[in-house]
Chain A
Amino acid sequence: MKRDCLGILVLITSIVLTACTAGQSQQTPPPSTYIQNKGSDTIVNLALAWAEEYQSLHPEVRISVTGGGSGTGITAMISGTVDIANASRQIKDEEMQAALANGIEPVEHVVARDAIAVIVHPQNPVDHLTIDQISLIYQGVINNWREVGGEDRPIVRLSRETNSGTHVYFLEEVIRKGEKGNKAIFSADTLLLPSSEGIIAEVSDNPNAIGYDGLGYVTEHVKVLAIGTQPEEPFVFPSIETVNSGAYPISRDLYMYTRRDAPPLVNEYLEWIISPEAQQIVTRLGFVPIIQSSAGK
């Protein structure tokens, strides 16, 4: 009986050991070419999807993708430890100076765009709002739809959780209207929902609700609002065209930065990323492709 126990123990240990060595041996055949990709958490899923697809098309290339934030990625690119930096903002002047001082000339590539749609219940008569109105609604100053031309209903504010990049972007660009010193924050009674699906579900059911989400997540069960920067200017609906032309105000470009003298392999990868084929992955992940929709099809 004791021998049985021992046997089982040996068996378990050997399984664990083989599992470990199997994990290691996968990495041992050295890939002929290796691309390091690091940066923005907003883009990390997109970058991963691209990397997976590209590796299946070109098995000889290996791409490693890590997050950490736009600043982390750009810093790593400047110090030469990664080939491509992902960023959801443009490179800053001081980062550019640091890079040039280090003998690296950064090259900017717009790889996708990110637009945020403001959504309400399909039966809500309100169909457009200005950035100022949305900011006041989310700060808790405007509390009834009547104040923005709607029915006499309380406004229920919905938002993603604070760990979402979209939450931070909405805070900075809509609630604070992109102003540096503006310290306005979300009203405390804003509902913080853990998922995009939760926001869509509540907005499609509740005529009091207002929410926001990445354009790619929006379904036909909710109504997308047209957004204006000034009351007298035309209100713009988000679409691939208006985002690409810059007419829709709540959108941003997503970037990848490389060095001017990057190996041809890296440049080939970036060329592939802006190809219609790779931009289809952009649409699938809820971002806006940089190519017009007609070209994407």
Chain B
Amino acid sequence: MKAQRAALNERIINSLIKLAGYSSIVFVGLILIFLVREGLPALNDVSLKDLFGSRWYPIEGYFGILPLISGSLLVTVGAILIAIPLGIGTAVFLSEFSPSWLRNLLKPIIEVLAGLPSVVLGFLGIQIVAPFFRRFLDLPTGLTAFTGAVLLALISLPTIVSIAEDALNTVPPAYRQGALALGATNWQTAWGVTVPAARSGLLTALMLGIGRSIGETMAVMMVTGNAPVLPSGLNALFLPARTMTATIASEMGEVATGSPHYHVLFFIGIILFLISLVVNLTASSLSLRSRKRAERLLS
């Protein structure tokens, strides 16, 4: 009797867990269906030429999404350029150089940074970062793509650091010991042996950092100025920009359901979904490759 009940419990719990596992696939599928259903009619409402035009002013029927795509790319690329040296550097320091008491202090602090609500960082951006950059770089306004990139770098930093540090930790100790035994310094060991050995894990960290920053909305909306300008050169980084996420967030609330504007906003959602899908696929294919390599080494 008791055994029977245990078996029954087991079956119920098993199926519940299975349900939980499959549900995420179902959710992603449903979201995709919903996005496509609401977003694809945009191609009917607006001609392709207008949709990929250079002016975004939806209340007068200008639906050019190029400034939004380029705005998102500008801010994200800027963020990654700042976050790569900082994030990988921090991870290398934590796993290779820092004494363990310092690591035990730094890791929780970095994790607190991960838990900081982005709207709080946005406040900081408006009140301190933007005015500082305006004075320091002598810009017309501090609300620029660069300010957004700096905040995004801060937001994606914890992701990059913790995954990169994990990747460095999985490098077998024998690698380091071998290098040190051959007379390499600490730095030569880290730069010449450990980092290359953890390369694919570090790339995964960067990809996930990109994914984190391209989807970020609130902080970016508060500090980039949201002007839909098509970038004309590298100096665009120091001019206001409007990202896809900020556009959806600020315009979705007031738009009439079923209008061309509504469909175009969902179309932007599809583009965002595709970008993060590509980023995540790249990240997982990289980590898959690293696992195969590790298996090969072990056999």
Contacts and interface: CB of A to CB of B under 8 A. Distances in A.
Contact of A202 (B141, B229, B242): B141
Contacts of B226: 161, 191-194
B222 A194 contact: yes
Interface in A143-185: 153-154, 156, 161-163, 168, 171, 183, 185
A189 B239 contact: yes
Interface in B224-244: 225-230, 239-240, 242
B250 A205 contact: no
Interface in B108-139: 126-127, 130-131, 134
A186 B254 CA distance: 19
A191 B225 contact: yes
A208 B134 CA distance: 10
B142 interface: yes
Contacts, number: 81
B60 interface: yes
A188 B141 contact: no
Chain B, interface residues (CB within 8 Å), range: 35 or more
Given A156-B140, A162-B59, A168-B59, A194 B250 contact: yes
Contact of B140 (A2, A171, A208): A208
B221 A194 contact: yes
B92 to A, nearest CB: 38
A104 interface: no
A205 B131 CA distance: 7
A12 interface: no
Interface string B132-163: 00100000111100000000000000000000
A42 to B, nearest CB: 12
Contacts of B221: 194
Given A161-B226, A162-B59, A209-B141, A189 B126 contact: no
A193 B221 CA distance: 8
Given A188-B229, A190-B227, A163 B250 contact: yes
Given A162-B251, A189-B239, A194-B221, 14 more contacts: A1-B9, A161-B250, A163-B255, A183-B60, A188-B56, A191-B240, A192-B228, A193-B143, A194-B226, A202-B130, A202-B141, A205-B142, A208-B140, A209-B141
28 contacts: A2-B5, A2-B9, A153-B140, A161-B250, A163-B251, A185-B57, A185-B60, A185-B62, A186-B57, A188-B229, A189-B227, A189-B239, A189-B240, A190-B227, A191-B143, A191-B225, A191-B226, A192-B228, A193-B225, A194-B221, A194-B222, A201-B126, A205-B134, A205-B142, A206-B131, A206-B142, A208-B140, A209-B141
